[in-house]
């Protein structure tokens, strides 16, 4: 069984993300500080952070979960988030659409996870740059990724106060 606190944090994350997005001053969704020194997440603008979590949810974690469930000891590749920023044109994205797509993806992730049994949760693979991982461990990494991006948005909000 998955940790209840982890699932609760994952379920609450889209609302926290929206709250922080709404806290970004008008006109600063695409703002970047002069230096990214000390940022606790990737060096991404507020808009890019929203697009990033959407794409990592869908193309990263959902795909990894499905592979763990259907393959024997799969290699789960890392994703170059900075390449996605360029390839998918995050700077031109619509924040509302990106957030809505992320919400839908997170609901699908939670639906998948809540339906898993103990044996499925212990299925194993190798997560590139992390090493051996169970499906349960991967869930914790996803929740950690969420927290990293909340921290990144808080950090950006702090920097915006100095802009």
Q: Among 1.20.120.450, 1.10.10.10, 1.10.260.40, 1.20.120.140, what is the CATH number of 4-31+41-160?
A: 1.20.120.450
The Cβ of residue 64 has, within 10 Å, a number of other Cβ atoms equal to 21
Tokens of 42: 């990737």
pLDDT tens-place values along the chain, 163 residues long: 899 999 999 999 999 999 999 999 999 999 999 999 999 999 999 999 999 999 999 999 999 999 999 999 999 999 999 999 999 999 999 999 999 999 999 999 999 999 999 999 999 999 999 999 999 999 999 999 999 999 999 999 999 998 7
Say which residue the tokens 């044109």 belong to.
Answer: 89
Q: Please state, in angstroms and as integers, the Cα–Cα distance from residue 108 to each residue in 71, 77, 152, following that order.
A: 20, 21, 24
């Amino acid at each position: 069984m998955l940790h209840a606190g982890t699932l609760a944090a994952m379920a609450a994350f889209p609302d926290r993300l929206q709250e922080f997005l709404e806290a970004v001053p008008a006109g600063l969704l695409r703002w970047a500080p002069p230096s990214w020194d000390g940022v606790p997440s990737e060096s991404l603008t507020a808009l890019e952070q929203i697009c990033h979590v959407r794409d990592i949810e869908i193309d990263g974690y959902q795909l990894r979960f499905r592979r763990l469930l259907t393959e024997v000891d799969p290699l789960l590749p890392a994703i170059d988030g900075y390449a996605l920023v360029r390839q998918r044109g995050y700077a031109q994205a619509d924040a509302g659409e990106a957030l809505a797509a992320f919400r839908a993806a997170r609901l699908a992730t939670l639906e998948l996870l809540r339906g898993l049994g103990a044996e499925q949760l212990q299925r194993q693979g190798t997560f590139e740059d992390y090493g051996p991982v169970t499906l349960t461990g991967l869930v914790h990494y996803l929740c950690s990724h969420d927290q990293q991006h909340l921290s990144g948005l808080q950090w950006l909000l702090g920097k915006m106060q100095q802009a």
